[in-house]
Chains A and B, each alone.
Chain A
Amino acid sequence: MKKLQKADYIKMYSYMLKIRRFEERAAQLYGMGKIGGFCHLYIGQEAVVVGILMTIDKNDSVVTTYRDHGHMIARGLDPKRIMAELTGREDGYSAGKGGSMHMFSKENNFYGGHGIVGAQVPIGTGIAFTHKYNGEKNICRTYIGDGAMNNGQVFEAFNLAALWKLPVLYIIENNKYGMGTSVDRAAAGLDLYKRGEAFGIPGEKVDGMNVFSVIEAADKAGKYVREGNGPYIIEVQTYRYRGHSMSDPAKYRTKEELDNYKQTDPIEIVKAEILKKKIATNDEIEKINKDTLEEIKIAAEFATNSPFPNDSELYTDVYL
């Protein structure tokens, strides 16, 4: 693996922080009635998507679930336009028609944002199929929730991907719960990464609170897939600090459990590493904090000032 440069550390820290600040602001706007419907926050899971991002090629593709704000930020998309989609405005990535769960940016090879559990898995496999078909050296990163790992189409996709050696990297974001159901109440056999074994898909488990572990695994797996060996599964052990969506009081878990995970906060881990390695001073970190807060504040202002879509937009985009 390529040695991480100083700039990489700063990039990781900034992106993770940006995701967190974005989600906190989204929660606030939801509280003010500016965002409606379902809104699933990524707080606590930042190291997963940022770790994976560090190994991504510009032309690689990504597909994920409805818990997608952080994924888009990590893909380098504009927080202003992401937030504007959350508020249902014209400037949003889906022009206000998709909302929090259904956002896309074809230009950036980001294929959603999918609201139906499991649906993104065959879709990501199909995007990988296209990379191979076109003779491209790119891969598709396909994210899967722990709960989604019990959805039948996931296994059909695994079989197809292995059978046809498709360049797809499956990333299971195991945040311990699918809505209110803990993994042990939903999955027989707790090692989700082993579920590709029968198809000959290698897999491994990674600490998802630690971005450095994620990068290492993502790098190794990415190379394996890019070299044409077929699919690979990484199961990332992570945790969401908030409820499943804004309206979930999360009574199915204890406060101690949550507090425990907060002890290994992914952003704090990077920050400590940066200070220890003297990559940046405390003051420089503080400046990043301030700038990030400001950037997200501006995004929120943009998103609440962007116009609502024109009424005539109701009938556009049904067909090309």
Chain B
Amino acid sequence: MSTEILMPALSPTMTEGNLSKWLIKKGDNVKAGDLIAEIETDKATMEVEAVDEGVVLDLLFDEGEANIPVNKAIAIIGDPNEKVEVKKESPEEKVIEEKKIEKNIEKKIESKKDQIIDTPSPKIEKDINLSSEEITMRQALRDTMAEEMRKDNKVFILGEEVAEYQGAYKVTQDLLQEFGKERVIDTPISEHGFTGLAVGAAFKGLRPILEFMTFNFSMQAIDQIINSAAKTLYMSGGQINCPIVFRGPNGAAAQVAAQHSQDFSSWYSQVPGLKVIAPSTPYNAKGLLRSAITDPNPVIFLENEILYGLKGRVNNDINFSIPIGKANIEKEGKDLTIVTYSIMLQKSKEAASRLKDQYNIDAEIIDLQTLRPLDKETILNSVKKTNRLITVEESWPFGSVGSEIANIVQRDAFDYLDSPVIKVNSADVPMPYSLSLEKLYLPQVNDIIDAAKKVSYIK
């Protein structure tokens, strides 16, 4: 029996690899665990081990060959005495098998893409300082931190793997190199301790940017965030403020399950003394992060891992900022209002375009940008115009940001509503691991469309 060795995906984002070096040759006897090749991925060069045993019957690619798709056979091992059997697979079967593999990869890429298509907002296009080049969200965040660190040496960064590793998600890339280890500081896995330390430093006048590797780990530190950072200005009768930014990825990534996929936007938005921001594009990430870093109060800055790779044009003025507390009307419309933020903006835009095509519904989309203080005025004005409202967010339904918006709207615009407000949230359960359940858990474009049809009384 012969076995194909396939090009492995060595990172969640890898779709093809380069064969930098063979560590075996034809005729070699390989055992499970033996190193067989060096593969260059999108991130690094890694060694690959054999999983099966046998004699190397064929190497299907030469050293140095590039862009070999993941899951393509790169070598064949087996029993040399059965050599005749090697290519027994009929060409047809082979094609079917390859198609299957390709489809799998496509699906993987598709599901990733699904979540990160950006169509430029017409409003932003009018910005005269718009860069010609598109950059990623990751880079926009990085650049803004660097710009502010150049302006003010009281600004420094701390967190796990932010310095030497260049950030667990590479958001702090090269900052150590530029600012040195006094200002870009790797911490131990001591969230409660280093958060308290950063809060103390902010009380005493520094301006920390604290990265949580993900916001899931901010729960270890939530006491210092709420009981110390948020309340001390008040408790000290206005003497001691806390200029600090807590930032990092929030919400679901891909299949990292219950303890690593959680949206904290409504938790933090409940707390007086905190400001809460959730950017959705490279453009607003730049403007909002600058406002957060220069704000004299504690700011929770909720990023999204899946959006880190989202590309868009930005305003390159090093003083460009977007005010905290101001929502953005991403798309004007007259039939209903969709209020959303963060990654759900992209899904809402997709839903709006389908609503237009399929039902001739013209949706207005409001991207909150800041969750606290909430821009009530923009929401109310929109509802007064469209008379229908749905909210779309990734958090659990109970007491979510949408719950508060629904309350405000029924109180202040009751007479304008033509239908009940409908909220679209994640399922009211912990995040499951399995791919199929994960998809069901998260709000999808179809859920938004269904909600829009409901408030429009369309069957």
Residue B6 interfacial (CB < 8 Å): yes
Closest chain B residue, CB of each to CB of A186: B188
Interface size bracket, A side: 35 or more
Taking a contact as CB atoms under 8 Å apart, the answer to whether B186 and A181 are in contact is yes
From A38, A246, A252, A314, B432 is in contact (CB under 8 Å) with: A314
Q: Are A115 and B260 touching (Cβ within 8 A)?
A: yes
A24-B33, A187-B188, A247-B12 known; A38 and B260 CB under 8 Å?
Answer: yes
B53→A293 contact, CB < 8 A? yes
CB atoms of A118 and B52 under 8 A apart: no
A selection of 28 A-B contacts at a CB cut-off of 8 Å is A24-B32, A28-B51, A31-B70, A31-B71, A32-B8, A32-B71, A33-B108, A37-B433, A38-B256, A88-B433, A97-B257, A97-B258, A97-B433, A97-B437, A100-B433, A102-B258, A147-B189, A150-B188, A150-B190, A178-B188, A179-B165, A181-B161, A186-B189, A247-B12, A249-B46, A309-B434, A311-B440, A313-B432
- Complex partner residue of A313 from B193, B220, B437, CB under 8 angstroms: B437
Within 8 A of A (CB), among B190-222: 190-193, 216-217, 219-220
Q: Answer yes or no: B436 CB below 8 A from chain A CBs.
A: yes
Q: Of residues 178 to 214 in A, which have CB atoms within 8 Å of B's CB atoms?
A: 178-181, 185-187
Q: How far is the CB of A211 from chain B (nearest CB, A)?
A: 17
Residue from B32, B189, B255 within 8 A of A21 (CB atoms): B32
Count contacts between A and B, CB distance < 8 Å: 181
Q: Which of B64-110 contact A (CB under 8 A)?
A: 70-71, 104-105, 108
B259 touches A101 (CB 8 A): yes
Closest Cβ–Cβ distance, residue B220 to chain A (whole Å): 8
Residues of A within 8 A of B11 (CB): 246-247, 249
CB <8 Å contact, A99 and B433: yes
Give every chain A residue within 8 A of B435 (Cβ-Cβ). Answer: 36, 88, 308
Of the candidates A31, A94, A185, A315, the one whose C-beta lies within 8 Å of that of B427 is A315
A249 CA to B259 CA, complexed, in Å: 24
Contact A31 B190 (CB under 8 A): no
- Min CB distance, A244 to chain B, in Å? 10
A27 interface contact, C-beta 8 A: yes
B160 within 8 A of A: yes
Count how many chain B residues have C-beta atoms less than 8 Å from C-beta atoms of the other chain.
62
What residues on B are CB-neighbors of A249 within 8 Å? Answer: 11, 41, 43-46
**A-B contact sample (13 more), CB < 8 A, given A96-B437, A252-B165:** A24-B33, A27-B49, A32-B104, A36-B254, A37-B257, A89-B434, A96-B433, A96-B434, A99-B255, A100-B433, A187-B188, A314-B432, A314-B440
Q: Which chain A positions have C-beta within 8 A of B161?
A: 179-181
Of residues 118 through 152 on chain A, the ones whose CB sits less than 8 Å from some CB of chain B are 118, 147-148, 150-152
Assembly CA distance A217 to B32 (angstroms): 31
Q: Give chain A nearest CB distance to B328 CB in angstroms.
A: 32
Q: Are A150 and B189 in contact (CB under 8 A)?
A: yes
A308-B436 CB under 8 A given contacts A33-B108, A152-B193: yes
Min CB gap B297→A, angstroms = 26
B441 close to chain A: CB less than 8 A: yes
Nearest-neighbor residue (CB-CB) of B433 within chain A: A99
Shortest B369–chain A CB gap in Å is 29
Q: What is the interface of chain A, defined by CB distance below 8 A to chain B?
A: 20-21, 24-25, 27-28, 30-33, 36-38, 85, 88-89, 94, 96-102, 114-118, 147-148, 150-153, 178-181, 185-187, 246-247, 249, 251-252, 289, 293, 297, 308-309, 311, 313-315, 318
Chain B residues lying within 8 Å of A24, measured Cβ to Cβ, are 32-33, 49-51
Q: How far is the CA of A217 from the CA of B434 in the complex (A)?
A: 39
Contacts A115-B257, A318-B429; is A25 near B188 (CB within 8 Å)?
A: no
* 5 tightest A-B CB contacts, nearest first: A31-B8, A249-B44, A99-B433, A88-B434, A36-B255
Tell me, in angstroms, the Cα distance from A283 to B298 when the chains sit together: 67
CB B398 to nearest CB in A, in angstroms, measures 12
Q: Is there an interface contact between B6 and A178, defined as CB atoms closer than 8 Å?
A: no
